[in-house]
């Protein structure tokens, strides 16, 4: 009997190995035994922030102007005096764009004792009658209705702070151009009449 076992040992061994491998294969297919795989994934997140600071700039050119011709000449003749074109350039990255206002320091053109008063809201400058104001134009911006009379003698006030123009989104080099006009009656006291105009840009949002 022992000799028979030894004689057929290789065959028995091969059969046994085959049965073992077949059994393992069946168990793997059925899911009873699994092969070890990669470890489960582990994740973290990184939050990235960047800041864009609001920018707003304004430039005006020229910053001084003399109205021409003289409002009353040496012969007593009366005229409408006008400034050169004054350009106001605004740039901003504000999402709501900008608002531009105009304000006069003296509520008119003044000496230490006399005043050529600004028009109220909107008025027409007429030679020989006291009056002072400005009108405006712009390609990009919307000019306020009180000043939107470019090329005429109709002007808006230069007194208390008043809306001049606006633009509704970020913009670079948005230009509003203004012209200042004035007139006086022939009996107006002689002298150099002055005003200081403040132009203010604020973010639209």
Q: Name the CA radius of gyration of the chain, rounded.
A: 43
Overall average pLDDT of the 82-110 stretch: 98
103 shares a domain with 191: yes
Closest CA to 108 of 76, 134, 144: 134
Length of the chain: 205
Asked whether the predicted pLDDT for residue 14 surpasses 90, the reply is: no
Q: What is the pLDDT of residue 195?
A: 98
Residue 37 lies in a domain: yes
Q: Looking at the structure, do residues 25 and 80 belong to the same domain, yes or no?
A: no
pLDDT at 69 over 70: yes
Domain limits for position 18: 1-43
Same domain membership, residue 137 and residue 77: yes
Q: Check whether residue 107 and residue 161 sit in a common domain.
A: yes
Mean pLDDT over residues 117-127, rounded? 97
pLDDT recorded at residue 21: 56
Question: For residue 130, what are the β-bridge partners?
Answer: none
Identify the H or E element spanning 26.
helix 2-30
pLDDT band at 5 (very low <50, low <70, confident <90, very high): very low
> So what's the pLDDT on residue 58?
98
Nearest to 23 by CA among 33, 14, 12: 33
Structure tokens at 66: 């003399």
């Amino acid at each position: 009997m022992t000799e028979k076992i030894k004689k057929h040992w290789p065959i028995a061994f091969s059969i046994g190995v085959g049965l073992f491998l077949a059994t393992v294969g069946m168990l793997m297919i059925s899911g009873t035994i699994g092969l070890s795989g990669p470890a489960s994934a582990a994740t973290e997140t990184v939050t990235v922030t960047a800041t864009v600071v609001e920018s707003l700039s304004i430039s005006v050119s020229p910053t001084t102007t003399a109205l021409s011709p003289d409002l009353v000449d040496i012969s007593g003749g009366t005229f409408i005096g006008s400034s050169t074109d004054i350009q106001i350039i605004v740039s901003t990255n504000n999402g709501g764009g900008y608002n531009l206002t105009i304000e006069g320091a003296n509520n008119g053109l003044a000496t230490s004792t006399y005043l050529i008063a600004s028009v109220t809201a909107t008025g027409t400058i007429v030679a020989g009658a006291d009056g002072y104001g400005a009108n405006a134009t712009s390609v990009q911006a919307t000019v306020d209705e009180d000043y939107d009379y470019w090329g005429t003698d109709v002007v808006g006030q230069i007194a208390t702070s008043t809306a001049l123009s606006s633009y509704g989104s970020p913009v670079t080099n948005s230009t509003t151009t203004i012209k200042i006009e004035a007139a006086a009656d022939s009996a107006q006291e002689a002298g150099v009449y002055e005003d200081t105009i403040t132009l203010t840009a604020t973010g639209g949002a």
